Structure 1
Amino acid sequence: MSPEKPPRARGGAGGAAVVGQITRGTTNTNRLRRVDRWIARHPVLRRTDDPLVVDLGYGASGVTAFELEARLRRARPDVEVVGLEIDPARVARAEAQLVEVRAGRTPFAADAHVSFARGGFEVPLAAQPASRRPAVIRAFNVLRQYDEGDVAAAWARMAARLQPGGMLVEGTCDELGRVCTWIEVGADAAPRSLTLSLRLTGLDSPTIAAERLPKALIHRNVPGERVHAFLEALDAEWVRAVASAPFGAEQRWPTALQALADAGWPVQGRARWRLGEVTVPWATVAPR
């Protein structure tokens, strides 16, 4: 169902319509650690004068919002995280969890700068001054349950709520957070890059990322498409780097990525290769 004409439920911030549809809401502790740590090191978070971050579609539990705040506050002690969900029952559950956090009965800091509200792609921030906009919106495992044709409209709606220079991080991961992919989208709603982040221990092939590509790309992993060519090239270099396997996947992965770079692929994020990450410009994988 299109984010432009979604089922609209009343009772959002200020009584406005909530834009979007309720998704499955699968939530696992530590599931989003890879993308959280990537955001924590991103210049957008470090340079903003107002480190307001939105966890959009956090799911059946507010734990991902608490984890996000805990990881980001190491880089920005003044970070604020607002968790948004369409389902009122999920908001109520997260607010009950927040009471436990405030009481010091959880592993999270009692003074965690976290709050929850009802909302969707319209990204309402009713509890904030009207002039405030988020520096970062993280929307993970949300658009995966929509149609590919819905993606651009959802990006545009969310990006319109960002600060100048802010970013939307939209992606997908498996249930344990061992296979993650995400797209960085600018405040102009234009995609900038694709990042793959894989658990290297026990990795058989980097093409496992194909199963968890964001909605904008998952149906494009076919011959003739750029993302298919990139994954094929990455897998080929992974196979050729087998000589590095005795030194561990942590050595094999950067060996494969360096070979990709030598072959002319614009692979980025060298400092994070050891973590099982690689980033490429959007033009490298953009649908034809």
Structure 2
Amino acid sequence: MKPVGAITRGTTNPNRLRRCDRWLAGPQGWRLRAASAPPIVVDLGYGASPVTAVELRDRLRAVRADVEVVGVEIDPARVAAAAPLAGPGLRFARGGFEIPLPGGARPTLVRAFNVLRQYAEADVAPTWALVCARLAPGGLFVDGTCDEVGRRATWVALEASGPTSLTLSWRLAGLTQPSEIAERLPKALIHRNVQGEPIHAFLSALDGAWARQAGHAAYGVRQRFVATARALSDEGWPTRNPDRWRLGELTIDWAAVAPGGGQ
């Protein structure tokens, strides 16, 4: 089967995806622990350097020692360059969104960062459906975007039934206005940050709550951010994982921010 997708720019940096990785090892770690067989995790479109696949293997093995990470890339030259790093719990394969695993194996987790960002918005929904159809029972697909050094990141979490949540993660030091993360929204949302769209309403509410919690700045940016997230929740925004707020991480139900109010 011909790989599904197109070769992307492939740029990456060490530790760039740490924010998503710690979320996968934290709130989503139960998916690895619940797998009856050694879970397979796919780093889809890892790029010109396989460093993110190596990091993902190391971080998730702290959750479950028998996890196997497969770096999948559509560019055969990148697969060949990564091959020398293959070893216990890590291998590489050529492929795309069809997720080519031997014997029809299904992954427990699929992480694709800064991949769909380089596609057209119209490509997102069918690609999501294709990847989600390949997931193991209880599996998760993460479609995300981050800046060059991983200080700002956002990702959509999808189960077999479709998208379930949006997570935004900031480096709190130096944060001036939360909505600055808008330029790193996933492809499904980045063109939707306009008046009348739910994601615009959410980011506006986030900035408003941040401004109202300015008094907490005397106690540090972390305290201000936690107060901001709590205020959003009190206003009725369906936030999740309040224990993660102190990390500069905010997760909200997908239905609250989906294009047009639902997808």
TM above 0.5, yes or no, is yes
In structure 1, C-alpha distance between the alignment counterparts of 2:124 and 2:160, rounded to whole Å:
15
What is residue 119 of structure 1 aligned with on the other side? 95
In structure 2, C-alpha distance between the alignment counterparts of 1:208 and 1:93, rounded to whole Å:
36
SS at match of 2:200: helix
Output one character per residue of 1:252-286: Cα deviation in whole Å (capped at 9) or x when no partner: 10000111111111111101101100111011101
In structure 2, C-alpha distance between the alignment counterparts of 1:243 and 1:83, rounded to whole Å:
46
What is residue 278 of structure 1 aligned with on the other side? 250
8 A contact 1:200–1:249 mirrored in 2: yes
Which blocks of at least 5 consecutive residues in structure 2 are unaligned? none
Q: Which runs of 4+ in 1 moved over 4 A?
A: none
What is residue 219 of structure 1 aligned with on the other side? 191
What is residue 232 of structure 1 aligned with on the other side? 204
1:84-233 map, 5 Å = 84-98=72-86, 111=88, 113-126=89-102, 130-188=103-161, 190-233=162-205
Q: Does 1:21 align with 2:6?
A: yes
What is residue 34 of structure 2 aligned with on the other side? 47
Residue-pair matches, total: 257
Indicate which of 10, 19, 41 corresponds to 1:34: 19
In structure 2, C-alpha distance between the alignment counterparts of 1:26 and 1:125, rounded to whole Å:
24
What is residue 257 of structure 1 aligned with on the other side? 229
Shift of 1:131: 4.6
Q: Which amino acid aligns with 2:199?
A: V
SS at match of 1:243: helix
What is residue 4 of structure 1 aligned with on the other side? none
What is residue 217 of structure 2 aligned with on the other side? 245
Task: Tell me the TM-score normalized by structure 1.
Answer: 0.87
SS at match of 2:240: coil
In structure 2, C-alpha distance between the alignment counterparts of 1:153 and 1:184, rounded to whole Å:
15
Output one character per residue of 1:23-66: Cα deviation in whole Å (capped at 9) or x when no partner: 00011000000101101121322322231100000001111000
In structure 1, C-alpha distance between the alignment counterparts of 2:97 and 2:168, rounded to whole Å:
24
Shift of 1:96: 2.7
% identical equivalent positions: 60
In structure 1, C-alpha distance between the alignment counterparts of 2:167 and 2:105, rounded to whole Å:
28
Query: C-alpha root-mean-square deviation of aligned residues, in Å?
Result: 1.0
Q: Which amino acid aligns with 2:186?
A: P
Indicate which of 35, 41, 58 corresponds to 2:46: 58
8 A contact 1:207–1:235 mirrored in 2: yes
SS at match of 2:110: strand
Q: Larger Rg: 1 or 2?
A: 1
In structure 2, C-alpha distance between the alignment counterparts of 1:145 and 1:89, rounded to whole Å:
20
In structure 2, C-alpha distance between the alignment counterparts of 1:197 and 1:37, rounded to whole Å:
11
SS at match of 2:141: strand
Task: Tell me the TM-score normalized by structure 2.
Answer: 0.95
What is residue 62 of structure 2 aligned with on the other side? 74
SS at match of 1:46: helix
Q: Which amino acid aligns with 2:141?
A: L
In structure 1, C-alpha distance between the alignment counterparts of 2:232 and 2:97, rounded to whole Å:
37
What is residue 10 of structure 1 aligned with on the other side? none
Q: Which amino acid aligns with 2:248?
A: G
SS at match of 2:212: helix
